[in-house]
Amino acid sequence: MTANKPRNVLFIMADQLRWDYLSCAGHPHLRTPNLDKLAARGVRFTRTYVQSPVCGASRMSFYTGRYVGSHGATWNGVPLKVGEMTLGDYVRKLGSEAVLVGKTHMIADTEGMERLGVDPKSIIGVRVSECGFDPFDRDDGLHGYGPDGRYTVPPRYESYLREKGYTGDKPWHDWANSAQGPGNKLASGWEMRNARLPARVKEEDSETPYMTRRAMEYIVEAGDKPWVMHLSFIKPHWPYIAPAPYNDLYGPEHVVPPVRSEAERADPHPVYREFMQHRVSKSFARDEVRTNVIPVYMGLIEQIDDQMGVLFRFLEERGIADSTMIVMTSDHGDYLGDHWMGEKDLFHDCSAKIPLIVYDPSPAANATRGTVCDELVESIDLVPTFYDWLGGDLAAQSHRMEGRSLLPFLHGKPPAEWRKFAISEYSYAMSQTAVRLGIEPKDACLFMVTDKRWKYIHAVGFRPMLFDLVDDPAELVDRGADPTLDDVRRHYAGVLHEWGLRQSQRTTRSEAQIRGMRGKSLRKGILIGVWDENDIPAELWSGYPESKA
């Protein structure tokens, strides 16, 4: 890498990609050669947890470097409040663009902007609305249509499809996410029985290659300007449907058995019991759902991997592969029937743990290429990692960023002290579980604390859950009520207690500024507790001795 070349960051996210669905992470059948190659050139972090196992909340932590309880966007549809500092705010100060290609699940705090007189159409207003990014192509990829209207604003992708000749009002659904059914009917991708049928769209016009091309278009447009790009794919997130050939690369014989036991259903924690009753959980409890959906989930991942190949070659050809940090991760996992669950929401590793590969092209990282790191990593670590890599002063931001830079691990110089536990939070306030349990939104809170030994889950208003990660790595036995483990639970409750009291909101003065303010009022004539002039040095008296009556 040339020392003076401007540095870029390519921050790639897949949506709902489990940590263990990569061949480099040990999946026995899935092929992800390009991501494996990235891992071979970078570091793969094996214990990376999201700050919340749901898209919106998790992403707002990725983009702010702060815990969910600190930024407050607790679930999909809860706006990130105006004033929260984002990745874009940080890196722009370092001279870098911050651009979005794909999904964020951000909802704008329109009320907050109005209160502060921020025009949503101004540059600042757009950035506030887009969690700090300049949106080159925003697409949340969830273009549902129902009796109450659309779930999202129409993305550019729908115009693209129309230009390509895909007809109708809803090309995202009708072409990219539906197959051809019998007769003249569509076989909607929303129906999981259709998962293995090929999507009607041509592969090159499906979402993943479209978005990859858009990323490359931005890079061409940017020219020599340094950038941080968030390339954020909707897949392998549902609707589970893929264009040919990706619909048919894998079959039931490639589906690994579910991780679950009958004992889990015998006397479950009340919150877990209700989540098992959600429609998606009941669906994935059925073998035919798993064997039909998982091969396509795998195919969608392989499609992303193929596109990674395209993109990485493009970076090489542009001559910027040696000045671009590449990160590949996901916003959370997918139960896929493990633990009798579908979707995400709870904290088993298949939901709360994510893949994370970080490639640093600089020579400083040569010592660690192809290694894995088993330390506890949180998704909030990415903002400080990028900021650090781009030359920012982390100490000056430690009152805002709650994560820590991963650069020391990449450079083979692990910090003397590293975090002892990872935290994840989940608000189930909007779920049917909250409805059925009669829980008020503010009380529908779960908190995970994990280290390498135990995973403890505090459920407000209920007993905790507890998993022994050493003796029960599959997390099949909830020991939250085990009378012999009082001390273990008390320990992790204590950890959570201290974490809950962290100083997360003093974001307007840094640690250094606070230290610098000590004793300063005295030198501006605030003379507290003085009896007479002998109590303080003469130079601190201002005007007094010289003043005349």
**Interface with its own copies in residues 432-451 (CB under 8 A):** 432, 434-435, 440-442, 445, 447
Residues 86-115 that bind its own copies (CB under 8 A): 89, 109, 111-112, 115
Which of 113, 103, 199 minimizes the C-alpha distance to 152?
Answer: 103
Smallest distance from its own copies to CB 8, Å = 23
Q: Which stretch binds its own copies (CB under 8 A): 13-21, 213-221, 296-304, 499-507?
A: 499-507
Q: Is the peptide bond before 236 cis (omega within 30 degrees of 0)?
A: yes
Smallest distance from its own copies to CB 187, Å = 9
Among 181, 245, 252, 363, interactor with its own copies by CB under 8 A: 181
Q: Measured between alpha carbons, how far is 21 from 32 in angstroms, rounded to an integer?
A: 9
DSSP label at 403?
S
Strand partners of residue 457 = 448, 465
For residues 456 to 495, the per-residue mask of contacts with its own copies, x marking binding by CB under 8 A and - elsewhere, is --x-x--------------------------------x--
DSSP label at 52?
S
Residues 128-157 that bind its own copies (CB under 8 A): 128, 142-151
Among 42, 56, 65, 69, interactor with its own copies by CB under 8 A: 69
Q: Which stretch binds its own copies (CB under 8 A): 1-9, 258-266, 276-284, 315-323?
A: 276-284
Q: Measured between alpha carbons, how far is 269 from 457 in angstroms, rounded to an integer?
A: 11
Joined together, the tokens standing for residue 53 give 């196992």
Dihedral through CA 373, CA 375, CA 376, CA 379, nearest 10?
Answer: -30
Residues 348-387 that bind its own copies (CB under 8 A): none
Residue placing its CB nearer to its own copies in the complex, 362 or 398 = 398
- Tokens 């604003």: give the residue: 153
Judge contact between 444 and 396, C-beta under 8 A. no
Judge contact between 68 and 403, C-beta under 8 A. no
Residues 190-209 that bind its own copies (CB under 8 A): 190-193, 200
Among 185, 257, 266, 471, interactor with its own copies by CB under 8 A: 185
Smallest distance from its own copies to CB 399, Å = 7
Q: Which stretch binds its own copies (CB under 8 A): 6-14, 23-31, 278-286, 371-379?
A: 278-286
Main-chain dihedrals φ then ψ at residue 334, nearest 5 degrees: -155, 125
Joined together, the tokens standing for residue 463 give 């007993």
Query: What is the number of residues in the chain?
Result: 549
Smallest distance from its own copies to CB 34, Å = 30
Smallest distance from its own copies to CB 521, Å = 6
Looking only at the bridges linking them, the beta strands covering 465-468 and 454-459 are antiparallel
Strand partners of residue 13 = 232, 329
Judge contact between 311 and 326, C-beta under 8 A. no
Residues 409-428 that bind its own copies (CB under 8 A): 427
Q: Which stretch binds its own copies (CB under 8 A): 250-258, 313-321, 470-478, 510-518?
A: 510-518
Q: Measured between alpha carbons, how far is 31 from 421 in angstroms, rounded to an integer?
A: 32
**Cβ atoms within 10 A of the Cβ of 452, count?**
14
Q: Which stretch binds its own copies (CB under 8 A): 155-163, 357-365, 463-471, 514-522?
A: 514-522
Q: How big is the site for its own copies, counted in residues (CB under 8 A)?
A: 128
Does residue number 73 form part of the binding site for its own copies (CB under 8 A)? Answer: yes
Smallest distance from its own copies to CB 222, Å = 23
Q: What is the CA radius of gyration of the chain?
A: 25
Residue placing its CB nearer to its own copies in the complex, 483 or 519 = 519
Smallest distance from its own copies to CB 403, Å = 15
Reported as type and span, the H/E element at residue 455 is strand 454-459
Does residue number 83 form part of the binding site for its own copies (CB under 8 A)? Answer: yes
Among 253, 267, 438, 515, interactor with its own copies by CB under 8 A: 515
How do the residues of the chain divide into helix, strand and coil, expressed in percent and rounded to 5?
Answer: 40, 15, 45
Smallest distance from its own copies to CB 86, Å = 10
Residue placing its CB nearer to its own copies in the complex, 213 or 339 = 339
Judge contact between 33 and 414, C-beta under 8 A. no
Q: Measured between alpha carbons, how far is 472 from 133 in angstroms, rounded to an integer?
A: 42
Question: How far apart, in Å, are the Cα atoms of 455 and each of 352, 451, 464?
Answer: 11, 7, 10
For residues 24 to 63, the per-residue mask of contacts with its own copies, x marking binding by CB under 8 A and - elsewhere, is ----------------------------------------
Among 431, 467, 479, 489, interactor with its own copies by CB under 8 A: 431
